[in-house]
Every structure is written in C-alpha cells, then in structure tokens.
Amino acid sequence: MFIWFYLTFEMSVFFVILVAEVIALTTGISLLAGLYPANRAAKLDAVDALWYE
C-alpha cells in the first residue's frame, strides 16, 4: 500500500513538473514567434512598407 502511494505521488509530481515545463516552453516559443516579426516591422518605414504592398 505504501509503495503504491509513493509511486503515485512521484508520478503526480513528475506530471506537474512536465506540464509546467511544457507551458513555459510554448509560452517562450509563442513570444518569439510574435515579437520577432513585430520587431522587424517596427524598424520599417511605414510609407515604404505600404508602397510595396
């Protein structure tokens, strides 16, 4: 009984850490995917950007 509880507790801690790591990784990727193009667009002159559109 105690061993089963110990294994269940270890698996739940592992699962919580895994979920936290996945959330952190996807948040970082989404920030880079959004900020990189926005930073490049901010460096352009608005008139020149609209001229080529």
Q: How wide is the angle at C-alpha 51 spanned by C-alphas 50 and 53, nearest 5°? A: 65
Q: What is the pLDDT of residue 23?
A: 96
Q: Residue 3 pLDDT more than 70?
A: no
pLDDT digits (tens, 9 = 90+) for 11-21: 677 788 888 99
pLDDT of res. 35: 96
| 5-49 pLDDT, tens digit each | 555 666 677 788 888 999 999 999 999 999 999 999 889 888 887
Domain extent for 42 = 2-51
| Total domain count, the chain | 1
pLDDT at 7: 57
Cβ contacts of 41 within 8 Å, gap of 6 or more: 49
Residue 28: what pLDDT? 97
Question: At 9, which amino acid appears?
Answer: F
Tokens of 36: 């990189």
Closest-CA residue to 7 (of 15, 18, 21, 20): 15
